[in-house]
Amino acid sequence: METFNNFLQGSITLFSDPINVLIFLGGVIGGMLFGAIPGVSMLTLAAILLPFTAHLTAEQGIMLFSVIYCTGVYGGAITAILFNIPGAPENAPTAFDGYPMTQNGQAGKAVGAAVICSAIGGVVSTIIMMIATAPIADWAISAFGPPEIFALVFFGLAVAASVGAKTFWKGWLSILIGLMVAVVGLDPVGGIARYDFEMPYLLAGIHFIPTILGFFAVSEIFVQAEKKVRGRYEAPELSVDFPSLAELVAHKVAVVRSIVIGFFCGILPGIGATLAAFMGYNEAVRWSKKPEEFGKGKLEGVISSETANNAATGAAMIPLLALGLPGGALTAMMVGVFQMHDMQPGPLVFLTSADLVWVVFAAMFYANASILLIGFLETKTIINLLRIPFQFLAPMILLLATVGAYAVRGLTIDVVVMFLAGVVGFFLRRSGYSVAGIVLGVILGKIGEQTFAQAMQMLHFEWSGFLDRRIALGLLIAGFLTLGGSIYGAFFKKKPSAADTSTS
Amino acid sequence: MGKLRPGHMVEAAFWLGLCLFLYVYSFEFERDIEIYKFGATAWPRVIILLMALAAIGQLFHHYLRGDEASSQMISAAVDDGAEEAAHEAHHEGVKWYLSTFALLSIPFVYMRVPDWIAGWLGADQTGLHITRIVVAAILIAIVVYCVRHYRVRVALMLPLFFAALLEDFGFYVAAPFFIIGVMYVFGERRPAHMASIMALIYGILLLLFVSILFVGLPVGNMRPFYDIGSWVVTVLQ
């Protein structure tokens, strides 16, 4: 009952302020559009908006990002289905059956299924998040000290590195580069300048906003420039033809199964929503009586993947809000929003800023529900907007990024750093490295070093102290097992063929 | 040699060279911290060690498997087509990288060379500004010449060059040319479209950031560009 009252209070706060409503609607439409437009993603939008959240309250900033997260994950399904270009990694399995459906003239039905299942997965996940996050945060206050947080950071990085890049080694190199970037500036214990190369600019460290803008928004434009040389994109024709109620009811088991899978994968730090979508899809194939039909345009493939990835969005907020640890690139940017308002996400947020938490929860609930409404009413409009030529979109995005990077501190050197990060990101991406891994490394590197130092001081520099703390020990063991499994896989397992990947 | 290619060895050499550089530089800040026995160097050195191990592991992976992806299925999800696009566009090989880095040096030439020339000539502030305008004009001419032949390379360099010019020429003067340049690089050739879209984007940005949000953008520090920028701000605010 208390949860429901808090939710009502959050809803009232959200809708009683016209500015909040405007930000909410902007986030819903912006997330959906940027998720859907080929060549950009919700991460591009989030990176561009990040510096401007300084002009908003912390409540509005976090709410905006959470709404973009929910609708952006759905928006990415549109490009996966229509162009075979997943808007984000978590939409990749949607393309396995969504794109063949487009080729079979069933694009409308595939988009319709994505709309309905994204909304269902997201709403259910948000409800569970509302019920579960506060008790987890309460427990975390007493159970999570610096050793546990350091162990969780290690586990999160081990998971992220294992799945984020072309090879396990490139995944780790991406994370380590991010950790190294986080080292630049003053060390967290003694305040000694590290890797400043006697440049005053570097004393304060490399600012995360130009870094994030460069790695996500700018490098994406560069990658598109290279693709443009090959003239890849052609907008397909689309008729909107939603699946019938009978078809949806026939897939109810797939929906429920994907919600459960999505939610539990979403809680994992790392890249939970991606794992969720793949596991949702894989389980659908495994449970099917006709697995050979997957990969050829089967509706259940789209339903399983889209339900699972949206179910992971609510779950991904749990480690962020209950423990203060981001699980993916977008939640890492949310940490940036908190920091810009001199706040730290974590269990104490429930005590100090309960209003913020419940407005965010309410906004996520309504954002997921609005996917259904906007999906039904505006799908055709959105698809027409997808036809904006990229040569007109690119200068707009680059200039928005320029203004964003400059506005943080009023330094043109930040703009140079951003475009340099874009160039570095471009070269790393085309070599199979993961820019999301780098950004997670940057964000978690600072938290990791600080909590490691605190943990070692707390344990009187005795490594065996970790053995006495069950949660920390468990997380460290889980991290090492993930690491060991990945090393074993990297050397001894053969990569499955393309056919295996899509059907097994 | 297994499945190793020269590119793999260059990649490994880059990472190991970077590790060596970062390790050697870490002695610059090797100092004791009274309350923390690991000091300021332990954390970065562990990262450097892991980086070196990962680079060696990567080399060994290339030796055994060549360019094959790891067995984890999620790797496929993060494949954004960047690698494939590079391969299809034949943007690989030492020659491509060398010419790309040569073009990428243009913004840094602008950041450093005018000061050297002005210092060498013993020029005053006005002389320095004139030198900067002349150097910028020469570099812009080089970029215009290159854009027809090296579109992707210019696309990489153009934003950096724009950022380098911002301090002197200001956002208000440089942005319209930048918008047209990016559109051209991305394949737009119709002058009327370029002019109208440029006016639209420039207008929206100024209205949103200058008139509504009052974001201070760089106005430049050389006349007459500074005057133009200041005039735009005065009119819009």
Q: What span, in angstroms and rounded, lies between the C-alpha atoms of A264 and A315?
A: 7
Name residue, tokens 């005795």: A462
Q: Is residue A501 part of a domain?
A: no
CB atoms within 10 A of CB A279: 24
* Total number of domains in chain A: 1
pLDDT at A504: 34
Q: Which residues from A are below 8 Å from B61, CB to CB?
A: 167-169, 490-491
Q: Give me the phi and psi of B36, to 5 degrees please.
A: -140, 105
Q: Is residue A503 part of a domain?
A: no
Q: Is residue A498 part of a domain?
A: no
Q: Is residue A166 part of a domain?
A: yes
Q: In Å, how far is B198's CA from the nearest CA of chain A?
A: 9
The residue type at A385: L
Q: What span, in angstroms and rounded, lies between the C-alpha atoms of A355 and A387?
A: 40
Name residue, tokens 């996500």: A216
Q: Are B181 and B173 in contact (CB under 8 A)?
A: no
pLDDT band at B179 (very low <50, low <70, confident <90, very high): very high
Q: What span, in angstroms and rounded, lies between the C-alpha atoms of A437 and A216?
A: 11
- pLDDT tens digits for chain A (504 residues)? 677 888 888 888 888 888 989 999 988 888 887 777 665 677 778 888 888 888 888 888 889 998 998 888 888 788 778 766 666 667 778 888 888 888 787 878 888 888 888 888 889 988 888 888 778 777 777 777 888 888 888 887 887 776 567 788 888 899 999 999 999 988 888 888 898 888 888 887 887 778 878 887 788 888 877 777 655 545 555 555 677 778 878 888 888 899 988 887 777 765 567 677 877 887 888 788 887 788 778 888 889 888 988 888 888 888 888 777 777 778 888 888 888 888 878 777 777 777 888 888 888 899 888 888 877 666 666 666 666 787 888 898 888 888 888 877 788 888 999 899 999 988 888 888 888 788 778 878 888 888 899 898 888 888 888 888 888 899 899 889 888 887 887 777 655 444 444 433
Q: Which residues from B are below 8 Å from A199, CB to CB?
A: none
ipTM over 0.95: no
Name residue, tokens 């007493």: A142
Q: Is residue A59 part of a domain?
A: yes
Domain coverage including residue A279: 2-493
Q: Are A59 and A361 in contact (CB under 8 A)?
A: no
- DSSP letter at A495 equals P
Judge whether residue B187 has pLDDT over 70.
yes
Q: Are the Cβ atoms of A192 and B162 closer than 8 angstroms?
A: no
Higher pLDDT, residue A41 or B156: B156
Interface of A with B in 108-137 (CB under 8 A): none
Q: Which helix (H) or strand (E) holds B100?
A: helix B94-121
- Of A159, A436, A152, A435, the closest CA to residue A270 belongs to A159
pLDDT at B150: 81
Q: Are A220 and A40 in contact (CB under 8 A)?
A: yes
Q: Which residues from B are below 8 Å from A271, CB to CB?
A: 74
Q: Select from A413, A430, A463, A497 the residue whose CB has the most chain B CBs within 10 Å, as the one to mutate to test that interface.
A: A430
Q: What is the dihedral of CA A202, A207, A211, A212, to 10 degrees?
A: 170
Judge whether residue B177 has pLDDT over 90.
yes
Q: Are the Cβ atoms of B89 and A489 closer than 8 angstroms?
A: no
Q: Are the Cβ atoms of A167 and B75 closer than 8 angstroms?
A: yes
CB atoms within 10 A of CB A87: 30
Provide the sign of the torsion angle of the four alpha carbons A119, A122, A125, A127, taken in this order.
negative
Q: Does the N-terminal peptide bond of residue A86 adopt cis geometry, omega within 30 degrees of 0?
A: no
CB atoms within 10 A of CB A286: 11
Half-sphere exposure in the Cβ direction for A450 (13 Å, CA): 12
CB atoms within 10 A of CB B81: 19
Which residues partner with A193 through β-bridges?
A186
pLDDT at B196: 93
Q: Which residues from B are below 8 Å from A229, CB to CB?
A: 85, 89, 151-152
pLDDT band at B17 (very low <50, low <70, confident <90, very high): very high
Angle in degrees, CA A92, A96, A100, rounded to 5: 135
* For residues B13-19, average pLDDT: 93
Average of per-residue pLDDT values in chain B: 84
Q: Are the Cβ atoms of A223 and B82 closer than 8 angstroms?
A: yes
- Give me the DSSP letters along B119-172: HHHT--HHHHHHHHHHHHHHHHHHHHHHHTT-HHHHHHHHHHHHHHHHHHH-HH
B130-150 confidence digits (pLDDT tens): 999 999 999 999 998 888 778
